[in-house]
Amino acid sequence: MKLLPDLPIAAVEPGSVHRLVDAMLDHVEASHPGHEYVIALPLGAAPFLPRDDDRLWRIVDSELVALRRHVYRALEAVTYEPLEDWQIVAGPTWDLRLAAAPPGLPPVYLGDLRTGVLAVCRHPDATR
Protein backbone atom coordinates (compact mmCIF):
# COMPACT_ATOMS: atom_id res chain seq x y z
CA MET A 1 0.00 0.00 0.00
CA LYS A 2 1.49 3.34 -1.02
CA LEU A 3 1.19 5.75 1.89
CA LEU A 4 3.35 8.81 2.33
CA PRO A 5 4.37 9.99 5.78
CA ASP A 6 3.48 13.65 5.92
CA LEU A 7 4.17 14.84 9.46
CA PRO A 8 6.28 12.82 11.91
CA ILE A 9 4.80 13.07 15.40
CA ALA A 10 6.56 10.45 17.56
CA ALA A 11 9.19 7.74 17.61
CA VAL A 12 9.54 4.50 19.57
CA GLU A 13 11.97 1.59 19.58
CA PRO A 14 12.25 0.23 16.01
CA GLY A 15 10.79 -3.23 15.42
CA SER A 16 8.34 -3.25 18.34
CA VAL A 17 4.78 -3.84 17.08
CA HIS A 18 3.33 -3.46 20.57
CA ARG A 19 5.10 -0.17 21.38
CA LEU A 20 4.37 1.34 17.98
CA VAL A 21 0.65 0.50 18.19
CA ASP A 22 0.51 1.85 21.75
CA ALA A 23 2.14 5.13 20.63
CA MET A 24 -0.35 5.40 17.76
CA LEU A 25 -3.34 4.77 19.99
CA ASP A 26 -2.09 7.12 22.72
CA HIS A 27 -1.82 9.87 20.10
CA VAL A 28 -5.22 9.06 18.58
CA GLU A 29 -6.98 9.04 21.96
CA ALA A 30 -5.41 12.38 22.92
CA SER A 31 -5.92 14.09 19.56
CA HIS A 32 -9.23 12.65 18.38
CA PRO A 33 -11.40 11.72 21.38
CA GLY A 34 -14.68 10.12 20.42
CA HIS A 35 -13.48 8.76 17.07
CA GLU A 36 -13.14 5.02 16.75
CA TYR A 37 -10.06 3.75 14.96
CA VAL A 38 -9.07 0.44 13.38
CA ILE A 39 -5.53 -0.92 13.58
CA ALA A 40 -4.30 -2.51 10.36
CA LEU A 41 -1.29 -4.82 10.59
CA PRO A 42 0.75 -6.71 8.02
CA LEU A 43 0.13 -10.47 8.16
CA GLY A 44 3.27 -11.29 10.15
CA ALA A 45 2.76 -8.63 12.82
CA ALA A 46 -0.55 -9.76 14.36
CA PRO A 47 1.00 -12.36 16.69
CA PHE A 48 3.12 -9.60 18.27
CA LEU A 49 0.11 -7.50 19.32
CA PRO A 50 -1.59 -8.72 22.50
CA ARG A 51 -5.17 -9.83 22.23
CA ASP A 52 -7.32 -8.25 24.96
CA ASP A 53 -10.45 -10.00 23.74
CA ASP A 54 -11.84 -11.91 20.78
CA ARG A 55 -15.17 -10.08 20.65
CA LEU A 56 -15.93 -6.49 19.84
CA TRP A 57 -19.39 -5.39 20.98
CA ARG A 58 -21.10 -2.98 18.61
CA ILE A 59 -24.64 -1.90 17.78
CA VAL A 60 -25.58 -3.13 14.33
CA ASP A 61 -29.08 -2.45 12.98
CA SER A 62 -30.25 -1.37 16.47
CA GLU A 63 -29.04 -4.61 18.07
CA LEU A 64 -26.03 -5.26 20.29
CA VAL A 65 -23.87 -7.88 18.57
CA ALA A 66 -20.50 -9.44 19.31
CA LEU A 67 -18.19 -9.28 16.32
CA ARG A 68 -15.43 -11.90 16.47
CA ARG A 69 -12.23 -9.94 16.12
CA HIS A 70 -8.71 -9.48 17.40
CA VAL A 71 -9.38 -6.77 19.97
CA TYR A 72 -6.68 -4.60 21.49
CA ARG A 73 -7.47 -1.63 23.75
CA ALA A 74 -11.16 -1.93 22.82
CA LEU A 75 -10.38 -1.49 19.11
CA GLU A 76 -10.39 -3.85 16.17
CA ALA A 77 -7.02 -5.06 14.91
CA VAL A 78 -7.11 -6.50 11.39
CA THR A 79 -4.49 -7.96 9.11
CA TYR A 80 -4.39 -6.27 5.75
CA GLU A 81 -2.45 -7.90 2.91
CA PRO A 82 -1.66 -4.77 0.87
CA LEU A 83 0.46 -3.41 3.73
CA GLU A 84 4.21 -3.72 3.46
CA ASP A 85 5.74 -5.88 6.20
CA TRP A 86 7.05 -2.73 7.97
CA GLN A 87 3.78 -0.75 7.93
CA ILE A 88 1.20 -0.43 10.69
CA VAL A 89 -1.76 1.82 9.99
CA ALA A 90 -4.36 3.28 12.33
CA GLY A 91 -7.35 4.98 10.78
CA PRO A 92 -10.95 5.90 11.50
CA THR A 93 -13.44 3.10 10.97
CA TRP A 94 -13.92 3.82 7.30
CA ASP A 95 -12.35 1.90 4.46
CA LEU A 96 -8.58 2.03 5.09
CA ARG A 97 -7.95 1.41 1.41
CA LEU A 98 -8.84 5.05 0.76
CA ALA A 99 -5.62 5.99 2.61
CA ALA A 100 -6.81 9.57 3.01
CA ALA A 101 -9.60 10.49 5.37
CA PRO A 102 -12.84 11.79 3.87
CA PRO A 103 -13.65 15.39 4.88
CA GLY A 104 -14.56 15.73 8.54
CA LEU A 105 -12.81 12.57 9.75
CA PRO A 106 -9.49 12.51 11.59
CA PRO A 107 -6.35 11.46 9.73
CA VAL A 108 -4.72 8.11 9.14
CA TYR A 109 -1.47 7.35 10.96
CA LEU A 110 1.40 5.30 9.58
CA GLY A 111 3.82 3.52 11.85
CA ASP A 112 7.16 2.40 10.41
CA LEU A 113 8.53 -0.71 12.15
CA ARG A 114 11.95 -0.18 10.53
CA THR A 115 12.50 3.20 12.18
CA GLY A 116 9.89 3.36 14.95
CA VAL A 117 8.55 6.64 13.52
CA LEU A 118 4.84 7.43 13.74
CA ALA A 119 3.52 9.95 11.23
CA VAL A 120 0.31 11.41 9.91
CA CYS A 121 0.09 10.04 6.39
CA ARG A 122 -1.55 10.85 3.13
CA HIS A 123 -2.33 9.04 -0.08
CA PRO A 124 0.15 9.83 -2.86
CA ASP A 125 -2.70 11.28 -4.95
CA ALA A 126 -4.02 13.49 -2.13
CA THR A 127 -3.61 17.22 -2.51
CA ARG A 128 -2.10 19.25 0.28
pLDDT at residue 128 in the model: 47
What's the topology of domain 4-122?
A: hypothetical protein PF0899 fold (3.30.2320)
pLDDT along the chain (128 residues), means of 10: 69 89 92 88 90 88 87 88 88 60 74 92 54
Taking the C-alpha atoms of residue 116 and residue 76, their distance in angstroms, rounded to an integer, is 22
Instruction: List the beta strands (DSSP E) in the chain.
Output: 4-11, 37-41, 53-60, 63-72, 75-79, 87-92, 108-112, 117-122
- Per-domain boundaries in the chain: 4-122
pLDDT at residue 64 in the model: 92
